[in-house]
Chains A and B, each alone.
Chain A
Amino acid sequence: GQQLNQSPQSMFIQEGEDVSMNCTSSSIFNTWLWYKQDPGEGPVLLIALYKAGELTSNGRLTAQFGITRKDSFLNISASIPSDVGIYFCAGQRSGTYKYIFGTGTRLKVLA
């Protein structure tokens, strides 16, 4: 099935470091959602973006809706061990109801 490209695929970082990941598409989206999923659980919504160029924060997390509307970015500042998990982006095109999910970025934090 169709999936968005997320980069990096996985990353190891030291506790306290900042993390950046992105999600790209060949299509234009009008909504971007970012989720975190822990093993064996459902995705948890972190941030929602609705407008090109929009920058939204949720605690140590900041996400941006790319100005081309074909990409989105998620940053995590001062990472902590509980940030471990898989981060997914999800995009919705105008006039459609479904979300297309990314391939995921697996984050591992070294204490």
Chain B
Amino acid sequence: ETGVTQSPTHLIKTRGQQVTLRCSSQSGHNTVSWYQQALGQGPQFIFQYYREEENGRGNFPPRFSGLQFPNYSSELNVNALELDDSALYLCASSLAPSGRTHEQYFGPGTRLTVT
């Protein structure tokens, strides 16, 4: 069984640029959630994708957007990067969006630094 993978591992961008982060869900999982984790804090929910559609969203501006593909992999796109976007971005996959099958399994994360 393949776990959740994310790419790239690290990324350095300049303020105002755009970035795309990628996530492959655990085999058999159809739901992907994205989180932002600032240094010293717990993960903050960005949004969730289920059946290629956004299924729920946290308090993040529209410049944070995403996609889910037919193979359940997902992308997180951030436009007009700001310094405060520097964080660890985590992807979590689950068997379903809710219920007892909603146990989320995380990938190793992508460390984004905005200068």
A binding-site residues for B, Cβ under 8 Å: 1, 3-4, 31, 33, 35, 40-45, 48, 50, 88, 90, 92, 96-104
Contact = CB atoms under 8 A, between A and B. Distances in A.
B58 interface: yes
Contacts of A33: 103-104
How extensive is the interface on chain B, given as a class?
20 to 34
A17 B58 CA distance: 39
Interface of B: 4, 6, 33, 35, 41-45, 48, 55-56, 58-59, 90, 97-98, 100, 102-109, 111
Contacts of B6: 42
A101 B103 contact: no
6 contacts: A1-B58, A3-B41, A31-B102, A33-B104, A41-B108, A97-B102
